[in-house]
Amino acid sequence: MKNFADRLIEEIRNKESYVVCGLDPIWESIPEGVKVRFKSKGAAIFAFNKAIIDAIHDVVVCVKPQLAYYEQYGINGLIAFKATVEYARKKGLLVIADGKRNDIGSTSLAYAKAYLSKGDASDLAFDCDALTVNPYLGWNGIQPFVEMCKQNSKGIFILVKTSNPSSGELQDLIVEGGRTIYEKVAELVDKWGSDLVGDSGYSSVGAVVGATYPEQAERIRKIIPRSIILVPGYGAQGGNAKSVVVNFNDDGLGAVVNASRSILYAYKSDRWSGAYDEDAYADAARAEAVYMRDEINMELEKRQK
Amino acid sequence: MKNFADRLIEEIRNKESYVVCGLDPIWESIPEGVKVRFKSKGAAIFAFNKAIIDAIHDVVVCVKPQLAYYEQYGINGLIAFKATVEYARKKGLLVIADGKRNDIGSTSLAYAKAYLSKGDASDLAFDCDALTVNPYLGWNGIQPFVEMCKQNSKGIFILVKTSNPSSGELQDLIVEGGRTIYEKVAELVDKWGSDLVGDSGYSSVGAVVGATYPEQAERIRKIIPRSIILVPGYGAQGGNAKSVVVNFNDDGLGAVVNASRSILYAYKSDRWSGAYDEDAYADAARAEAVYMRDEINMELEKRQK
């Protein structure tokens, strides 16, 4: 199978879209009409996700289920996670498991098996296309993921600069030599991903850089020219098309942009609540995904000129 | 209910033990005699854990199931995780979920619900006593855990200096002011935990400091006098009783020491394989846990003199 980065870029080209839809089920925001049809929360969550996937699968390149939102519902939540991953892949979507996993080597290997492999015959693992990982433990914590990426044509996205307000508390500290921690991590990402550069010129070892920090993103983009940047923080967290374009290279590639709540719960938003009622939540999600796709494409075209 | 730190210290005093047993199921190391009794890996793993818990519950203060080792077996693995947590708590053990979770605030809240609460009536969460967490996202990523600890009398252990060989790659970088990253994180741990100090004088916000770095541990101990340090890396990773005592305060408290493989698979070890055959794996685990408990107690007594 093709290298993950190459597959992702092929999807971007085919769909003319850089949009990733985060699948973060929030019980309170799932329409009543879905909830009443099921006894278990897990089943309702999967039904909600399935309708969203059906509505947006040709508009977005990846979905990114956030594991925390499934783990909070225990085993039922994780059954919904697994079903969602399988359904999304069947619909031709790449799946990024957002777990920000990390540990010492032997344990990272277990996480890599869990999310980036099929597992063995008797107990199937979650088998996503990519996983987000945390760099705090250094190379030992990353290497097993990189090996698994090589073996199974998978990808990882390493946290570099996160989208939250306090991300600077550690990430912006300045270390000897005058660079910040997030710049040091970016240097490591470039090094760690050098063996996984595909035909596209991009590596399957990507980075996470929040849409809420465009200045920092500009610096990071230069340090990791071959990494695909997963940009969270668009929409509900305050990022917009203007703030994300700095994450792209001059070739118009090198980034994908995630929105979760602004797509999933578009039916409740100022922009769409007039046009779609609660039962049409999937149509509202599609409208928002199309809007976001076009807004980013337009902003990128402006920059190319 | 009592503050988590107070409960942990009460257990340490009652049992005269600082030992935490990591429950990291490695399929290849589980005795054949256990495996053949079950169709599903999950069931076999739970049976193995149950026998270990029965054998050691009066010798150790906590068990620490490492989530990666369950997630790698998919849903069945997580069912075994949940059953293990419930059984261990029924046997009076405190359970530390080792997940090293972290994310932006809203997502950290979902993780906090998953591991530090009962969840709601229809979908029970995993409801452990404590969780290990990663500090890379700063206060936003930690606060929801701290709030949940207050609400539900739970604890967290924040990664400060991890036990793996490459932990220094980021953690030892020197920042402005001449301190290392791990020292900066230790300062934050002290601050973040200040609201959760119990009657014992210890906080329910603890730290993870690897047994493989005693020099660094000495510095960390001074920065976080009120935090309980969870010390991994004893046994299979090379730490020993001498290298862990620096994690304790002069009051003989302030740390618990984890071993996983050296207890679980003691039946295969140089020390115990002559005395116990494979079927007696639980007895071998108990022997090793007692040995470890006494070794640490002796080393601490030596220091007190």
Residue B294 vs residues A177, A274, B23, B94, B275: alpha-carbon distances, Å:
47, 69, 20, 20, 19
Collapsed DSSP state (helix, strand, coil) of residue B36: coil
Closest CB to B119 among A74, A138, A171: A74
Angstrom distance (rounded) from CA B177 to CA B174: 8
pLDDT at position B122 over 90: no
Angstrom distance (rounded) from CA B26 to CA B260: 11
Is B100 annotated in the active site? yes
Hey, what are A27's tokens?
Answer: 């019980």
Distance from the A132 Cα atom to the nearest Cα atom in chain B, whole angstroms? 11
Nearest C-alpha neighbor of B64 from the set B201, B192, B156: B156
Chain A 46-105, CB below 8 Å of chain B: which residues? 66, 68-69, 71-79, 82, 100-105
Is A162–B104 a contact, with Cβ atoms under 8 angstroms apart? yes
Residue A105 vs residues A99, B35, B229: alpha-carbon distances, Å:
17, 26, 21
Q: In chain B, what is the straight-line distance between the N-terminal and C-terminal CA atoms, in Å?
A: 36
A201 secondary structure, DSSP code? S
pLDDT at position B172 over 80: yes
Helices (H) and strands (E) in chain B, counts: 13, 8
pTM, two decimals, is 0.97
- What integer pLDDT is reported at residue B281 of this predicted model? 98
Name the β-bridge partners of A206.
A157
Question: Mean pLDDT across chain A, nearest whole number?
Answer: 96
Hey, what are B101's tokens?
Answer: 């979770």
Residue length of chain B: 305
Contact A288, A266 (CB under 8 A): yes
pLDDT tens-digit map of A106-144? 999 999 999 999 987 666 899 999 999 999 999 999 999
Q: What angle do CA B85, B91, B96 make, to 5 degrees?
A: 40
Taking contacts as CB-CB distances below 8 angstroms, the residues of chain B near A41 are: 122-123
Domain regions of chain B by residue span: 4-304
pLDDT tens-digit map of A155-198? 999 999 999 999 999 999 999 889 999 999 999 999 999 999 99
Is A166–B72 a contact, with Cβ atoms under 8 angstroms apart? no
Name the β-bridge partners of B209.
B161
Does ipTM exceed 0.90?
yes
Distance from the B233 Cα atom to the nearest Cα atom in chain A, whole angstroms? 10
Nearest C-alpha neighbor of B133 from the set B204, B70, B220: B204
Distance from the B13 Cα atom to the nearest Cα atom in chain A, whole angstroms? 30
Among the four given CATH numbers 3.30.1490.20, 3.20.20.70, 3.40.50.300, 3.30.300.20, the one describing domain A4-304: 3.20.20.70
Question: For the stretch A216-228, what's the b/e string if a residue is b when 16 or more beta carbons lie within 10 angstroms of its beta carbon?
Answer: bbebbbebbebbb
Angstrom distance (rounded) from CA A171 to CA A220: 12
- What integer pLDDT is reported at residue B184 of this predicted model? 97
Chain A residue at shortest CA distance from B124: A74
Contact A246, A6 (CB under 8 A): no
Per-residue pLDDT averaged across B111-120, rounded? Answer: 94
Angstrom distance (rounded) from CA B26 to CA A131: 22
Contact B245, B300 (CB under 8 A): yes
